[in-house]
Every structure is written in structure tokens, then in C-alpha cells.
Amino acid sequence: MSLFAPKGEWLSEPGLRLFWQPHFLTQTLADQYLQTLQQLAWQQGEITLYGKTYQEPRLSIYCGDEGAHYSYSQKNMQPRPWHPLLLSLKDLLSQQFNAPFNAVLCNYYRNGQDGMGWHSDDEPELGPSPTIASLSFGATRRFVLRSKHDHTQKRSFHLNHGSLLLMAGDTQQHWQHAVPKTQTAITSRINLTFRTINPR
Ligand SMILES: O=C(O)CCC(=O)C(=O)O
Ligand SMILES: [Fe+2]
């Protein structure tokens, strides 16, 4: 059985380079993977902004090769060892996109009140033009991009169960992205972002 349902497409314009494949995984595989992923040791992280500590509005877990330390929002994250499913997805995506992924940040959005605010994945250890592969499972959530130069310039995707969205090229330099909270009653969603962490 092929993992790959219909092909995806590259969306390229100056400063924005994306690859979108809504049915990257078959429904059966996506269902099976979601069940496994729900059993990971999810934790609610904290962020400190201007001396005040907040609980993140989502659960997360960071896995990767030994030494793939990642810091964001003043948090220094030590990778946990690879879960076998995450490792096999990492290998598959690395091969497919010719990118040496060595870590994955997993996020668990429990309901519409969980989300992720505007940011770019532009931490120094990702390098200037990171390739980031994002796989989604469970409830469909809106993923929005906006230009850093003109916030009215937006692109929006509905990241469905089994979909793949890849961000590449200069995207992180010129665009921010977010997963907005929603009042709509929705079930949980899991997102995996595979990344390449360069040694400091
Ligand atoms: O949940 C998503 O689709 C995006 C997650 C994200 O932007 C991140 O982990 O940096
Ligand atoms: Fe991000």
C-alpha cells in the first residue's frame, strides 16, 4: 500500500515557498498514527514573557537526536529520544524532501481554546532558510500565514487529518504563521513539525 495519496503542489512566490499535500497519508494510516500519538507523554509547557510565567495553551513534546537542543521563547529544550513512529516519519520526510531532519516538535491542541500565536520559526539554530515539515492529525484547524511586511497579506490553509504542509526557502524571514483559537466546538488535533537543528 502506498503511503502517498494524490500528489501535492509547490506554492512559490517571492519570499514564500510552501508545499501542500492535503492527503499525504491515507485515512487508515492517519487514524492509526493518531491513536499512537495520543499516547505520547504530553506536557504543558510554560513560557516566561517580561518576567511573567504563563502556561502554554497546548501540550507539547520535543523529540530528536541527542544534541539537537532547541531554544525558543527563552526555553532551552532538550530532546527526548525518538519514539519509533516519529523516527519512521522523520526518515520518510527526510528522504522525500532531501532534508536532514533531526528533531520534531509535537503539539497537542486539546480543543478550540488551544492554539499558537503569531511567530516565525526563525531561531538561530534553524539557520536562515529552514525546511520545516508539518503533519497534522485529528481535527482540522486553520493555519494562517501573514507577511511581516504587510499584515494584510495573508494565506490560509485548513490543515486536515493526514495533511502535510512544508515551509521552505525564505518563508520564515518574510512570513509569520499562527493557529488561531476558535469558538467552534472541535475535538483535539496533533501537529508534528520536523526540523533540522544545527549545532551551535
Ligand atoms: O500546529 C501547527 O500547525 C503549527 C505549529 C507551529 O507553528 C510550530 O510548532 O512552530
Ligand atoms: Fe511555527
pLDDT digits (tens, 9 = 90+) for 128-143: 999 999 999 999 999 9
pLDDT of residue 5: 47
| Comparison of pLDDT for 190 and 71, the residue scoring more | 190
Which of 69, 10, 20, 16 shows the shortest CA–CA distance to 176?
Answer: 16
Residue type, 74: Q
pLDDT of residue 44: 96
Residue 197, Cβ neighbours under 10 Å: how many?
Answer: 22
Which of 68, 75, 191 shows the shortest CA–CA distance to 136?
Answer: 191
Q: For residue 74, name the pLDDT band (cuts at 50, 70, 90).
A: low
Residues with beta carbon inside 6 Å of ligand 1? 105, 107, 116, 121, 134, 143, 159, 177, 179, 191, 193
For residues 107-114, give the mean pLDDT: 98
Q: What percent of the chain has pLDDT over 90?
A: 86
DSSP string, 6-75: S--EEEEETTEEEEEETTSS-HHHHHHHHHHHTTS--B--EEEETTEEEE-SSEEEEEESTT--EEETTE
Q: What is this structure's pTM?
A: 0.95
pLDDT at 7 over 80: yes
For residues 166-186, give the mean pLDDT: 97
pLDDT at 71 over 90: no
Q: Which atom of ligand 1 lies closest to the CA of 105?
A: 9
C-alpha–C-alpha distance, residues 25 and 2, integer Å: 9
Which of 126, 125, 170, 129 shows the shortest CA–CA distance to 148?
Answer: 170
CA of 122 to the centre of ligand 2 (A): 9
CA of 1 to the centre of ligand 2 (A): 31
For residues 21-42, give the mean pLDDT: 97
| Residue of 56, 142, 163, 179 with the most ligand 1 atoms within 8 Å of its CB, for mutation | 179
Supply 84's cell numbers. Answer: 519509533
Q: For residue 6, name the pLDDT band (cuts at 50, 70, 90).
A: low
Radius of gyration of the chain (CA): 16
| Residue of 111, 121, 134, 194 with the most ligand 1 atoms within 8 Å of its CB, for mutation | 134
pLDDT at 199 over 90: no
| Residue of 177, 189, 195, 197 with the most ligand 1 atoms within 8 Å of its CB, for mutation | 177
